[in-house]
């Protein structure tokens, strides 16, 4: 009988170990070294000495959980949320806000050193209040084994739900709804079939979306309707696999640059209203749009950049990979009586040279891709010959990769700066300006 070699599974060394934290990674986790292997640890700060226990040990890296802090950093502060440390929503409340900004700025400095030989001072960070900034939240909902309703965010490194009593990073108008919303859901006959809910701070009033895996009882729908009217909410219901239906109130919208942008609760919008407004203004300034310019907005969504850009340009072409968002963008153009807008639904991983819009000439380009970046587009963008390109990024790794392509194709990195879109988290949003040499 043939015998096959089966490697023995190496047992995890769970013995407590002492480390000194050297730096942050780009997710806001502390990094220590065991030999030459990086060990990633949540809840720690550079310079601290800690006791940890390994929870994962791979060939090229390890992860550990914090057991005890032996020597604290002077920048460590007390978290302001009672759920911090268990809830996975925030990762950096133990670090003062100014130091958070500086840590993220340092990540951008390291990127500039990799992609440009010249020293490039960062532009001032775009910031806002670090509390009450988040205008949307998606809460998971389930009934646990003991019959208790849970409603909140997932725990860190877990699928378990942290039932919230507060969330100080949410805008006050939606944070205030948490206790009464929990009581409402707990009273429903169909409490076990609720999958998740979405709360969005919007105009003319906040919006609530309730998602269920089965059809709700008529009495439950009446209770939801009464709750929406009592709290002056726009109400949406999404049952089974059907599309969300608005049961009460007008379609929500937000305003930017005196423009009205309608959206649905499940649509992507920037979560930080104040930073978003400043970000759009900075993009307009950096692109230096002239009245004769034709501008291309890639990953345009529902028109967050497109509509303000079109007010300055001769023509704006917006490209988006999600068809429903293209429809929203077109509708938003009509609502605001803008005539110089064209939107196209297109797979942005395909070659734009094979599309109608990709064969046109553009003077300025803005792109705001998802975390994966825009690798498939960068060579096309570089070959357009656009004089100015603004790249909005939510991932420093894909930004560095994509920026290098532009630089190799004859562009100069002119400006780069941080956008404090997500205070108290490891997420890093930034904006870069590239100029054709």
Which residues carry out catalysis? Answer: 394
CA distance 216 to 214: 6
Residue 132 has which token pair? 């009450």
- List the one residue out of 299, 209, 287 whose CA is nearest residue 252: 209
Element (H, E) at 315: strand 315-320
- List the one residue out of 58, 143, 76, 341 whose CA is nearest residue 66: 76
- List the one residue out of 388, 378, 370, 364 whose CA is nearest residue 429: 370
- List the one residue out of 414, 388, 394 whose CA is nearest residue 107: 394
Beta strand extents in 234-291 (DSSP E only):
234-239, 245-248, 253-256, 259-262
CA distance 360 to 247: 43
CA distance 104 to 111: 11
Residue 252 has which token pair? 């929500």
CA distance 134 to 273: 8
């Amino acid at each position: 009988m043939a015998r096959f070699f089966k490697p023995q599974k190496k047992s995890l060394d769970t013995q407590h170990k002492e480390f000194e934290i050297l730096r942050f990674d780009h997710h806001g986790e502390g990094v220590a070294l065991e030999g030459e292997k990086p060990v990633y640890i949540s809840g720690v700060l550079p310079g601290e000495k800690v006791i940890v226990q390994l929870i994962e040990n791979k060939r090229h890296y390890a992860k550990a959980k914090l057991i005890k802090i032996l020597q604290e950093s002077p920048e460590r502060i007390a978290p302001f949320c009672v759920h911090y440390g268990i809830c996975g929503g925030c990762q950096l409340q133990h670090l003062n806000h100014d130091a958070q900004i500086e840590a993220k700025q340092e990540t951008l400095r390291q990127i500039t050193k990799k992609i440009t030989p010249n020293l490039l001072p960062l532009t001032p960070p775009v910031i806002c209040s670090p509390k009450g900034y988040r205008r949307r939240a998606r809460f998971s909902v389930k009934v646990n084994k003991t019959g208790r309703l849970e409603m909140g965010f997932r725990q860190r490194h877990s699928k378990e739900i942290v039932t919230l009593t507060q969330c100080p990073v949410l805008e006050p108008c939606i944070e205030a709804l948490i206790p009464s919303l929990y009581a409402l859901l707990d009273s429903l006959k169909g409490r076990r079939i609720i999958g998740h809910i979405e709360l969005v701070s919007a105009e003319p009033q906040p919006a609530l979306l309730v998602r269920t895996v089965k059809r709700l009882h008529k009495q439950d729908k009446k209770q939801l309707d009464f709750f929406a009217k009592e709290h002056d909410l726009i109400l949406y219901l999404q049952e089974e696999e059907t599309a969300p239906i608005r049961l009460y109130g007008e379609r929500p919208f937000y305003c930017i640059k005196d423009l009205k942008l309608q959206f649905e609760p499940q649509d992507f919008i920037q979560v930080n209203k104040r930073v978003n407004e400043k970000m759009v203004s900075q993009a307009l300034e950096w692109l230096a749009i002239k009245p004769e310019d034709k501008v291309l907005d890639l990953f345009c969504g529902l028109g967050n950049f497109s509509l303000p850009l079109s007010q300055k340009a001769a023509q704006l072409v917006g490209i988006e990979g999600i068809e429903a968002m293209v429809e929203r963008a077109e509708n938003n153009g009509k609502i605001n009586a803008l005539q110089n807008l064209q939107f196209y639904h297109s797979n942005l991983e395909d070659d734009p040279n094979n599309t109608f819009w990709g064969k046109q000439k553009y003077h300025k380009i803005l792109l705001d891709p998802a975390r994966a970046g825009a690798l498939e587009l960068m060579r096309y963008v570089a070959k357009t010959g656009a004089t100015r390109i603004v790249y909005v990024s939510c991932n420093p790794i894909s930004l560095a990769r994509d920026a290098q392509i532009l630089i190799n194709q004859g562009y100069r990195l002119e400006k780069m700066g941080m956008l404090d879109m997500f205070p108290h988290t490891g997420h890093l949003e930034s904006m870069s300006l590239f100029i054709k040499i």
